[in-house]
Chain A
Amino acid sequence: MQSTLGIGLLGAGPVTQAIHLPTLARLSDEFAIRHVTDTDPAVAKAIAARVGAVHSTSIDALLGDPAVEVVVICSPNSFHAEQLIAACHAGKKAVLCEKPLAMSYAEADAIATVSAETGVPIVVGAMHTFDPGWRAATAHWGELPASSHTIRSSIVLPPNSRFEDVATEVLSRPAFPAPDWSDVQVLAGMIHAGVMGLAIHDLPLVRSLLPRYDDLRMIDARFLAPFGYRILFVAGGKSVELHAVMSETWQPDWTLEAFSDDQALQVQFTPSYVHAGSAVSTLTTAESARVFGPTAVNGYEAEWRELAAIVRGEVAPPSTHDLVDDVRFALAVADASAEAVRSTHNADAAA
């Protein structure tokens, strides 16, 4: 009989409450939450009490807790790299870092260095990369990564709260800011946030279809109020369209598509937060269509199960080089999108 792995959660906001706690409740044979840290002591205490864990307000307390074997980083994006590096130096068995892994190239470099130094396995909580529907498609897609020429990710979502509120009962939800849409710097910042916060779910999948991205050429990028974007770029000889809109619709529609001359892939993902099963992938040729999924296991559960297998040494951890490359790609798209928004605004102003 195996013992459970002790989990320490850094950050106890909606992602921890609505995603990780319900997922870990499904996997109580594998994991037990031992420590919850949040800068808000009331939130830390309340969330820890839900799972019978200790609580604190400092990362040092969590990293110094011997009951914590795996650190989960669910803090705001700007703290991810610093906390991940600290967790690796603390000699934990593994670190699960919510996406994005980092917010700058320098942070990405530092993560690559610490990974090489410490050997601590790093997993990024990009649940779509673990989704059984996606994984099954990649196992059967043959030459599609090389032959695809057009890629599109389109995300239409109701407000997150609609799903958070059925995944759990959220304590302390941050308010959505009221931006000044007339300020181009705000718009540039919003599209950057859109890439690093929303498009980031599918960018590792997109990158797996690109032979390279160092030649990325941004064609058009615009922020779509109240929150969304349309981004069009060319990389590795392929055109890539990223589209997202968040509205008051009740109907989510999260689709990734790739086309080659003789094959088409469509992946329809279930919305975030809820456990609604895996994506459904369809690989189509002129002669047939093969459908993968849905399975009962979604990306969150698959991500945690893989983490457990990594800690036990049953499967190899993901290549940190690949994870760092994923975030470099995301940063390249985000930076180029923000710059395109500024350039378009300046050109319009000059006209």
Chain B
Amino acid sequence: MNAPTTHARTTLATLPLSLPDPTGVVFVDGDPGWPAELARALRAGAAGIALVHPAPVDFADLLDEKSATIVVVDSRWASNPVTDLAEPAFRAAAVKGSRLECRVVMDPGCDFATALLDQLVLIRALLAPVTKVQVQHLSDRALHAEGLTDLPLAVDFSIVSTAALPASASLRLLTSDGKVELTIPSGDTAQPARLITVGPDGAVLAPTQYETGHRASLRRVCELQATRSADGMADLRRLHADVVTTTAAIGDHLAVQAPA
């Protein structure tokens, strides 16, 4: 079992009553070797696992594990507590043929595949799974891609790397008479997301929630544990589908770009 990271310790400290025994939850860092680490935690009988910011690597074997452990994917953007408010807002605004803009700012040197996966997880949480992604442009500083969902709804993805701005994700769904716009700051702080719905009657800013994405994820672990009948592997199965879409998109693009 890995030693608790700083964010694991600080997150656990925010839920002292829900988690009086912090050893009951294991934080697995999402670096590329995470499947092995997660498998170890599952086999050790962890009651709950928070998989933090997972990289898109193959982990199909893990889905066959028979375990009662609750595994929650602590995704960079989707874990923000704003998703509970944002989901109905985006679902109400989306119509057939809508285009969703999903823009992410990341630090230079970030892994674009992981950043794209984080976007897919977010859109799944708010609207629908992205079933296909075509990378249109990929450089060492930016990625542009187009995705499709079954709604049907098209998604324009962009990832821009810069150290000038803190990491953030922005979604905008323009409607015939307004928009829904969501900006999510880095989940490492409790800086709140901003959800704004614009319609004919004006603009509404949803209540801000000063809770980190890490804490919201850990709270989900507790809530799912409390239900006892929860499917503890559901998050992982959804993550797997998004990983497959992500790796196919990046792989297809690199194959086209590669010299013959």
Contact = CB atoms under 8 A, between A and B. Distances in A.
Interface of A: 149-150, 152, 156, 219-220, 224, 230, 232, 234, 239, 241, 243, 245, 247-251, 259-264, 284-286
B175 A247 contact: yes
Question: Chain B contact residues: over half helix, strand or loop, or mixed?
Answer: strand
A224 B175 CA distance: 12
Contact of A220 (B99, B108, B146, B203): B146
Contact of A219 (B108, B137, B174, B179): B137
B39 to A, nearest CB: 38
B16 to A, nearest CB: 34
A249 B137 contact: no
A50 to B, nearest CB: 34
A251 B178 contact: yes
Given A249-B198, A262-B163, A264-B165, A232 B177 contact: no
**4 shortest interchain CB distances as A-B pairs:** A264-B164, A149-B141, A248-B177, A150-B142
Interface stretch (B53-61, B153-161, B242-250): B153-161
Contacts of A245: 174
B163 A286 contact: yes
B176 interface: yes
B52 to A, nearest CB: 24
Contacts of B175: 247, 249
A264 B163 CA distance: 9
Contact of A260 (B99, B139, B158, B164): B164
Given A220-B146, A264-B165, A241 B158 contact: yes
B161 A247 contact: no
B162 interface: yes
B20 interface: no
25 contacts: A220-B146, A232-B137, A239-B142, A241-B158, A245-B174, A248-B176, A248-B200, A249-B175, A249-B179, A249-B198, A250-B177, A251-B179, A251-B203, A259-B162, A259-B165, A260-B164, A261-B141, A261-B164, A262-B162, A262-B163, A264-B162, A284-B164, A285-B164, A286-B163, A286-B164
Interface of B: 99, 101, 105, 108, 136-137, 139, 141-142, 144, 146, 156, 158, 160-165, 174-179, 198, 200, 203
A247 B176 contact: yes
A305 B183 CA distance: 39
Which of B158, B164, B179, B203 has its CB near the most chain A CB atoms (within 10 A)?
Answer: B164
Given A220-B146, A239-B142, A251-B198, A261 B163 contact: yes
A239 B139 contact: yes
Given A150-B141, A232-B137, A251-B198, A259 B160 contact: yes
A259 B174 contact: no
A294 B147 CA distance: 37
B174 A156 contact: yes
A314 to B, nearest CB: 37
A260 B105 CA distance: 12
Pick the most buried of B142, B179, B198: most chain A CB atoms within 10 A of its CB: B142
B234 to A, nearest CB: 35
Contacts of B162: 259-264
Contacts of B99: 224, 230
Contacts of A220: 136, 146
Contacts of A263: 162, 164
Given A150-B142, A219-B144, A239-B142, A259 B164 contact: yes
Contact of B178 (A219, A249, A262, A285): A249
A262 B165 CA distance: 8
A232 B139 CA distance: 14
Given A251-B179, A259-B141, A263-B164, 8 more contacts: A156-B174, A156-B179, A230-B156, A239-B137, A241-B158, A260-B162, A260-B164, A261-B164
Most chain A beta carbons < 10 A, residue from B101, B161, B165, B178:
B165
A245 B101 CA distance: 12
Nearest to A158: B177
Contacts of A149: 139, 141-142
B156 A247 contact: no
A284 B165 contact: yes
A264 B103 CA distance: 15
Contacts of A234: 137
A107 to B, nearest CB: 32
A122 B206 CA distance: 49
B139 to A, nearest CB: 7
B158 A261 contact: no
B104 to A, nearest CB: 12
Nearest to A283: B164
